[in-house]
Amino acid sequence: MAPLLKHLALLVHDVSRARRFYERYFGFDSSSEWMGDTLFIRNDDGFDLALMRGEPPPNPGAFHHFGFEVDSAGDVRSLQQRMQLDGIAILEVVEERDLTSFKCADPDGYTVEVYADS
């Protein structure tokens, strides 16, 4: 069996603000737990985001990102519209025959992709 990616650790300016962003838009926090200075928030798939207060590294560009797959192109567009209404910066939109996606910036400048394969 191949190793399975189960968590991502991010340095953030404000743990509460980052937590709210990932809870609101990406379904995290089915459970959460502090381990020392790090807050682990979990989604329903059992994937953890480890959020620790610190200075995020500078974003080297849109290629440097992590992504969330949703069920359909309609779900991509719906979340994009919701984020735009909430003032979230949308960095890139892709509408192709076999892929619908957008990239946005989280509160700390990390690039996050939302996509659906067609």
* Residue 49 and residue 71 in one domain: no
Identify whether the C-beta of residue 33 lies closer than 8 Å to the C-beta of residue 75.
no
Residue among 101, 97, 100 nearest 112 (CA)? 101
Q: What CATH number should be reported for the domain holding residue 115? A: 3.10.180.10
Distance, in Å, from the CA atom of 54 to the CA atom of 57, rounded to the nearest integer, reads: 9
* Residue 104 and residue 82 in one domain: yes
Residue among 114, 110, 112, 111 nearest 11 (CA)? 110
* Residue 24 and residue 75 in one domain: no
0.85 surpassed by pTM: yes
* Residue 31 and residue 18 in one domain: yes
Q: What is the chain's pLDDT, residue by residue, as a tens digit (118 residues)?
A: 787 889 999 999 999 999 999 999 999 987 889 999 999 999 999 999 999 999 988 877 778 899 999 999 999 999 999 999 999 999 999 999 999 999 999 999 999 999 999 7
